[in-house]
Amino acid sequence: MTLTESIDLTLKTLRSGGIILYPTDTVWGLGCDATNSDAVNKIIELKGRSHNQSFILLVDDVKQIEHYIEQLPDIAYSLIEVSDTPLTIIYPGARSITLQHDGLAPKVIAPDGTVAIRVVQHPFCCQLLQKLGKPIVSTSANFTGIPAPLTFSDIDPNLRKQVDHCVDPAFEAPATGKPSSIIKLELNGEVVVIRP
């Protein structure tokens, strides 16, 4: 299967509210359209997660982040530009779906109104996100309480069977095999390191 064919199949699953198992720039992830509440709920149930845990979201460009938070702190642009390893940033003021405008599914947003977003550099993810035009959820491909898999071969076969689409492991490279660094940004520009 070609990269284009794989992306098209994955897009079809995301657009229909399905759950995907896919490679990212860090580890394999379970994902869905981050604006689809039903799909987000499916991931919560599949993983056995608490309903008050938020998620990391992936985008392909910093411009996309602007659509989903109230105000992007100026320092965010510089941090994203200079980071040479995967960096997840927690932003204040996430926009939830309302009748007036699109936004994020409420359960991807933390109770304090923040949202964790990473601008991804992985070739498969970048092309997928460009075509979808929305953020996707990225939570490690494991059941809650089980260590996160570093490669496709580490993923529990029972989990693989429960997703709607599994991306071909041929597109795994060049993942780092370890979680991203996480920092939290305050509107005043203060940076708090959550995970180095």
**For residue 84, which of 28, 129, 25 has the smallest C-alpha distance?**
25
How do 115-119 and 87-91 pair as beta strands? antiparallel
d(CA 77, CA 98): 27
Coil/strand/helix, residue 71: coil
Percent of the chain as helix, strand, coil, to the nearest 5: 35, 20, 45
pLDDT string in tens for the chain (196-residue length): 888 899 999 999 999 999 999 999 888 999 999 999 999 999 999 998 877 777 999 999 999 999 999 888 888 888 888 888 899 999 999 988 775 567 999 999 999 999 999 999 888 999 999 999 999 999 999 998 888 888 899 999 999 999 999 999 988 776 777 788 999 998 777 888 888 8
Residue 108 is predicted with a pLDDT of 94
HEC string of 83-146? CCCCEEEEECCECECCCCCCCECHHHCCCCCCEEEEECCCHHHHHHHHHHCCCEEEEECCCCCC
Whole-number Cα distances in Å, 68 to 53, 112, 114, 153? 18, 15, 11, 34
Residue 54 is predicted with a pLDDT of 77
Spatial CB neighbours of 138, under 8 Å, sequence gap ≥ 6: 24, 29, 30, 31, 55, 56, 57, 58, 118
Beta bridge partners, 181, equal: 87
Q: Does the predicted model carry a pTM greater than 0.85?
A: yes
